[in-house]
Amino acid sequence: MPSRIVEEQTITVGEPTVIEVPSPCTHYGVVFEDDGITGYFYALDFTREEMPIVDALHIYNVDEVVDRQKPSVVQIVWSDDGLKSALVINCYPHAIFDFEARHGYCRTGFPPPHNEWPRNDHTWDDRAVDLFR
């Protein structure tokens, strides 16, 4: 599935940052958030007015990032069908949401799955990157 970088920002890990990027053609979206303590990637369904978050993936703990003082390039990638999104930091994929399969993947495999996507265990699978080719 062809894809493209929809958003790119340079951040410093540990400085509060929110990057929200809607799908280019569906009712889904994603948010990357660094709250100064942790980094998370969230899956959103905008048809849900009260609570659009349907899944969350842990990306990092700020105090465990070795080179956190260096600027990092955060990219949000969307597949052309608007059903898959990836979080790429410094050219390295850290997390992927597949809205069609209701599955999230991240390098930390944390947290446990949310009730919305019950079969999803968040374990990273290198084959998930193929969703964007």
Give the pTM.
0.94
pLDDT in tens, 52-66: 999 999 999 999 999
Q: CA–CA separation, 35 vs 19, rounded Å?
A: 11
49: confidence class by pLDDT, cuts 50, 70, 90: confident
6: confidence class by pLDDT, cuts 50, 70, 90: very high
Q: CA–CA separation, 6 vs 35, rounded Å?
A: 22
**Mean pLDDT of the chain, nearest integer:** 93
Name which of 64, 71, 82, 67 is nearest 21 in CA terms: 82
